[in-house]
Structure 1
């Protein structure tokens, strides 16, 4: 069996790029191999990470032959064609790999049909802040995989932020909150900054103020261990300014909107699982 010391990435979009940066931070000396169907999109990333950029015609010898652990950043609808049309001729029982899938709604039982039986699968649901070491990565895995292999993937992602194992039955819910949550929070930051601008604060200062407020509030929840409701109560004086704002949020349905956004995201993930 050939020695395979590299870590590969197939399909390097926004999320996979963020994961690649986290892997580089976790393993500065690790050989990384990046393949994307549109190679011009990852040229700068390959240079920044000191990674090997793999050409399509050399996918087998420059990535598959060198990597035991391979992250797959392809969209769910592209998974089957990727493996059946591009990778299948180069995969064998004798050289098992560990595949780490980021495909939303693509369950382990279906992922396992894409590769020979000796290969193993891990599902991850990261969010984009992993690029800065402040992300949240939910993961689950094939029960047949060796603990040492799971441990190695955990080590690759140690600089991504918080890693949390979930049973696959909870994976859609975890992804709906942590995976999609940054998009919801960006809208909160944007709305806060717009409000600040409307009251005369310059745009850049308004953005920094809003973003830091969200960061600080999140750190308060994590560091204190207190319920967010209790922390809210500590800054809402009777008859004061903050409780007036909280009342306005309740009247305009902030809580319901957030819960509805997670519900819609969760349902879409379930629908994609049914289509896989």
Structure 2
């Protein structure tokens, strides 16, 4: 066990991302005995008690993990149970602190988090932001969320958009890249199973190597590519016009734009 104990409270709408966070805490040995997941379906969520309705009492921490468009409906039920000692921790994409403060005016503090799915294995990235959490609370939250991986605090709320459009959405983009690599391995004659494993292990191994060494990506790529060799020939395609930088820029911009659209909808 890690010795960390989750404050008493609720995880309202513990779906894919909420379930990934719970799984990560369980693997890290965090004591979740005081946490209740609120799931209307009553589905089992390993590692945490589940209720179909709000339990009695005033919670210390309330995690919001439902769909962003449900925030008004959920707040109408939850807000009357929120007191001056309750912290709201939201993983709702695009729902800003000001909107949450309007919905939960009595809360001690409002904290936004933008996790990604690898939190389930303690290998995630979770962006954090609050404009009213005191240093002691920030430290407490960092200790809990830090068990899920890298958990930086943003200086500005807009930093969460940058984190979510890169790290939050990033696993989906990396998955697409791995699938594309695997398809090309198949096209070169490898069986599908080997092609998939080849692409996956190449990406995973590169990440592990880079993290362990601290080496920047530019020098790492150069170290792999011999002058005039096959890798360099491939890099010229990725580095050319409409290559990797352009594709990633357009991808991230589309995600950023959609995040701002959701934020605008939550303000209305």
TM norm structure 2: 0.89
Is 1:38 the counterpart of 2:22? The answer is: no
Q: What is the SS of the residue equivalent to 1:159?
A: helix
Q: Which runs of 5+ in 1 are unaligned?
A: none
Cα distance, 1:118 vs. partner? Answer: 4.0
Aligned to 1:81: 73
- Output one character per residue of 1:35-61: Cα deviation in whole Å (capped at 9) or x when no partner: 12332xx32x2xx21x211122xx141
2:89 is matched with which residue: 100, 125, 135? 100
Tell me, yes or no, if structure 1 residue 255 matches structure 2 residue 255: no
How big is the shift at 1:254?
A: 2.4
Instruction: Tell me which protein shows more helix as a share of its residues.
Output: 1
* Aligned equivalent of 1:68: 60
Higher relative contact order (CA 8 A, sep 6+): 1
> Offset of 1:128 from its aligned partner?
0.2
Q: Alignment length, in residue pairs?
A: 258
CA distance in 2, matches of 1:159, 1:186: 24
2:31 paired with 1:29: yes
Q: Which runs of 5+ in 2 are unaligned?
A: 1-5
Stretch moving more, 105-114 or 116-125: 116-125
- Per-residue CA deviations over 1:67-99 (Å, capped at 9, x if unaligned) read 311211012211111111x22332344xx2111
Q: Compute the displacement of 1:225 (Å).
A: 2.7
Moved over 6 A (4+): none
Cα deviation per residue 1:187-243 (whole Å; 9 max; x = unaligned)?
Answer: 000011111122222222222221121122223333333321111111111221111
Distance verdict in 2 for CA 1:5–1:159, change over 3 Å = closer
Cα root mean square deviation, aligned: 2.0
1:139 is paired with a residue of what secondary structure? strand
Aligned to 1:20: 22
Superposition TM-score, scaled by structure 1 size: 0.86
